Amino acid sequence: MTGPEGSKEEESLSVSREMDVDGSRFIYRLITDRSVKLLDYDYKRCMGCGICVGLCPTKALELGPIKEIATGLDAPPVMMDLDKCTFCSMCASFCPVDAFRMSQEGDLPEQENFPELDTHVRMNEKCLPCAICRAACPEDAIDVEFTFRKKEEIAPFRDRSGGDAEGEIEIDTDKCNFCGLCAEFCDAFLLVEKEPTPTDPNPFELLLVDEDKCDYCVLCQDLCPEDAIRVIGEKRGEAPKIEGRLVVDDDKCTRCTWCQAVCPYEAVDIKKPFEGELTLIDANIGKCDPQGCHGCFNVCPSHLWYVPGDGKNNIAIKEDYCIYCGACVNACPKDVMKVSRTGVSHTGIPDSPWAGQWRDAVDFIKTGKRNYPDISRTLSVEKELPREHIEVELPDIDPSHLEAAKKRLEKASSLLSSPKFRKDVEAKVKESGAEKQ
């Protein structure tokens, strides 16, 4: 900045850091005169995979007691040294479950220029929609909004007390896939739920019909996409076209692929954050106590762990659901499993001065080896050792000399306080300066 008469004026920038706690969220702020960066960490969302800890270029993040947290301790899996954090957003960009979120306001580069995980869950044109994935999702991340008309709107139930409705209805259990459309359409149907498991993710086990309520209108037969319902009765109206909208809540979805596994129509397209391999270590699997520990069950965002009933192994996995985050490895006290990552799905890294650091971050996710920023040119001040204290002996001073000096100082002070004396001195100084020029 240039000041008056061409002089340069330095511009200062104040920087401060703040931390707030809101329920399960730790909110960190970096505040300057020009901008505000906000890093929001939800420790209840975090499962302790530790990817962010290894990514952090300033080592500002530290993994907490994950084994204890996985078995019940209520504590943040990751802690931050706010003084070290530069708010670079690497933790937020590569968190597979969005436990970290970064936002910013003010005079800053556009955030979309930074790379981030590139994942999605999308329903393709094969989606009806139906209700299976909604009930199967272990994170309650799927909702279905059906827009077709229900039976009560097309053909209201008849009064069965007068014998107005007669007929038969039968469900072909070999054809029925528990899509749930009949139950959404008509209150005479009831889907019996069961607990989904990694090996059997279907959330339903039986479709029942309340024949005391059914009036055999035949509409459900025409509605069923699997031709699994046969009705003998009087047809009343036309079955509606199956219509609706399926919504995935990205704040909850972990890309576990349970919805994809349970969908009978191959209507779910999923892009996971990482590619890799999850393996059980044979030498250690016998040490696992899934009843007493349950750590891997508790932290896994994909809900892929189960206890097999074959009596051979203490624990087993459904690897198709794995997102290769590695949280189970940190949680296990017996080193029963190993996770390796071979690929990272992320947006492009722009050609910029910081591109190398982001490439190093991606390499770390795959290899586990982190290249930290080069600080070899950083200037440091050598520590100055304490100097030895030397006693100096002061010379003896003649009191008469001190008294003479005191009198001279008093005389000089009296002259300097006289306005006439000061004017005479200033005039002589000006005359002397004019003669030199």
Topology (CATH level 3) of domain 11-118: Alpha-Beta Plaits (3.30.70)
pLDDT digits (tens, 9 = 90+) for 14-50: 889 999 999 999 999 999 988 999 999 999 999 999 9
Question: Is 271-367 in the same CATH topology as 122-247?
Answer: yes
- Asked if 61 contacts 52 with a C-beta cutoff of 8 angstroms, the reply is yes
Distance CA 221, CA 180 (A): 13
- As a whole number of angstroms, the distance between CA 252 and CA 415 comes to 86
Third-level CATH fold of 122-247: Alpha-Beta Plaits (3.30.70)
C-alpha dist (Å) from residue 89 to 115, 250, 360:
10, 19, 14
Residues found in the chain = 437
> What is the rounded distance in angstroms from the CA atom of residue 91 to the CA atom of residue 79?
12
Looking at CATH, the fold of the domain delimited by 271-367 is given as: Alpha-Beta Plaits (3.30.70)
Phi, psi of 427 (to 5 degrees): -65, -45
pLDDT tens, residue order, the chain (437 aa):
444 444 445 567 788 999 999 999 999 999 998 899 999 999 999 999 999 999 999 999 999 999 999 999 999 999 999 999 999 999 999 999 999 999 988 876 655 578 999 999 999 999 999 999 999 999 999 999 999 999 999 999 987 665 667 899 999 999 999 999 999 999 999 999 999 999 999 999 999 999 999 999 999 999 999 999 999 999 999 999 999 999 999 999 999 999 999 999 999 999 999 999 999 999 999 999 988 899 999 999 999 999 998 777 899 999 999 999 999 999 999 999 999 999 999 999 988 888 999 999 999 999 999 888 766 666 666 777 787 778 877 778 888 888 888 888 888 887 777 777 777 777 777 777 656 55
* Domain residue ranges in the chain: 11-118, 122-247, 271-367
Cα of first residue to Cα of last residue in the chain, in angstroms, is 36
Give pTM, 2 decimals.
0.78
